[in-house]
């Protein structure tokens, strides 16, 4: 055998050895991650993800819940549900007596659908009716009313009683679950958030990107300046800026933090 042939054979053996080692490391890393995630699943944590509109909370919360085998609760949908029922009943956002009477008769719950969770109000599926700009702004207004917050506070805490759940919202870590096991606050620049929201709703609305950005700025102002449960990170929340990070990248960061802490 020539020297060049020997060298080639030697290189092939070395390459094969490196490949095997790389595969072993990959398998070990996969097994370690699997065991770590399984450990978190068994602990049954309450995880909260708060932040402004368009920060990516919904996408990230769903992926994280799926990765952990946890339930996912979109608490913003509950406020939208109350808003829809209030509008249907001819109530204004500041009619506290009317809202209190309305809430006393509401029974809202989430049920699994073919593709995602469905929100039922008094056994009627209202999921497809709560994603309009009118409902969005009305929900922001009624969320500042104490009667509505009391009603949904009890409902949300009841949903978290069994743990093993990811709650997405605006005051989950700061008000609803102050003792949550893990708290995240997800943020992004206003322009990026507006673009994300526009892509999400453009097939369902005639709003322009500029109008969506204007709505987001107005909602940010309303939510962050209200007296009752203003939008802000919990003191012990982990803040993540998702402006330049993909949803998968955000989830990987969250999982890394959870694994290290729990």
Give the tens place of pLDDT for each residue, 5-34: 545 555 655 556 655 665 656 555 444 445
User: Measured between alpha carbons, how far is 103 from 152 in angstroms, rounded to an integer?
Assistant: 9
Neighbouring CB atoms inside 10 A of 32's CB total 11
User: Domain 75-163: which topology?
Assistant: Rossmann fold (3.40.50)
Tell me: the pLDDT tens digits for 74-130?
Answer: 999 999 999 999 999 999 999 999 999 999 999 999 998 887 889 999 999 999 999
Tell me: the pLDDT tens digits for 37-81?
Answer: 565 665 789 999 999 988 999 999 999 999 999 999 999 999 999
What integer pLDDT is reported at residue 38 of this predicted model? 62
User: Domain 28-70+167-262: which topology?
Assistant: Rossmann fold (3.40.50)
Tell me: the pLDDT tens digits for 131-151?
Answer: 888 998 899 899 989 999 999
Per-residue pLDDT, averaged over 156-175, amounts to: 94
The reply to whether domains 28-70+167-262 and 75-163 share a CATH topology is yes
Residue 201 has pLDDT above 90, yes or no: no
User: Measured between alpha carbons, how far is 174 from 50 in angstroms, rounded to an integer?
Assistant: 9
User: Measured between alpha carbons, how far is 35 from 78 in angstroms, rounded to an integer?
Assistant: 34
Residue 211 has pLDDT above 50, yes or no: yes
Domain boundaries, the chain: 28-70+167-262, 75-163
């Amino acid at each position: 055998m020539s020297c060049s042939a020997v060298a080639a054979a030697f290189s092939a053996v070395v390459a094969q050895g490196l490949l095997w080692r790389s595969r072993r490391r990959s398998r070990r890393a996969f097994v370690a991650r699997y065991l770590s995630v399984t450990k978190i699943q068994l602990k049954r944590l309450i995880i909260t993800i708060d932040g402004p509109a368009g920060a990516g909370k919904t996408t990230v919360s769903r992926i994280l819940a799926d990765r952990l085998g946890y339930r996912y609760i979109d608490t913003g949908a509950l406020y939208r549900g109350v808003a829809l029922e209030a509008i249907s009943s001819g109530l204004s956002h500041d009619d506290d007596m009317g809202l209190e009477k309305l809430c006393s008769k509401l029974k809202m719950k989430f049920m699994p659908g073919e593709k995602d969770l469905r929100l039922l109000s008094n056994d009627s599926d209202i999921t497809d009716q709560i994603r309009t700009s009118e409902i969005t702004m009305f929900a922001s207004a009624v969320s500042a009313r104490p009667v509505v917050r009391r009603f949904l506070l009890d409902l949300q805490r009841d949903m978290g009683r069994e743990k093993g759940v990811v709650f997405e919202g605006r005051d989950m870590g700061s008000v609803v679950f102050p003792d949550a096991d893990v708290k995240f606050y997800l943020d992004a620049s206003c322009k990026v958030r507006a673009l994300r929201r526009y892509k999400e709703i453009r097939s369902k609305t005639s709003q322009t990107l500029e109008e969506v950005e204007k709505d987001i700025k107005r909602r940010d102002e309303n939510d962050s300046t209200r007296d009752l449960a203003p939008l802000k990170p919990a003191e012990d929340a982990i803040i993540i800026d998702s402006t330049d990070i993909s949803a998968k990248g955000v989830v990987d960061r969250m999982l890394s933090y959870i694994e290290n802490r729990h």
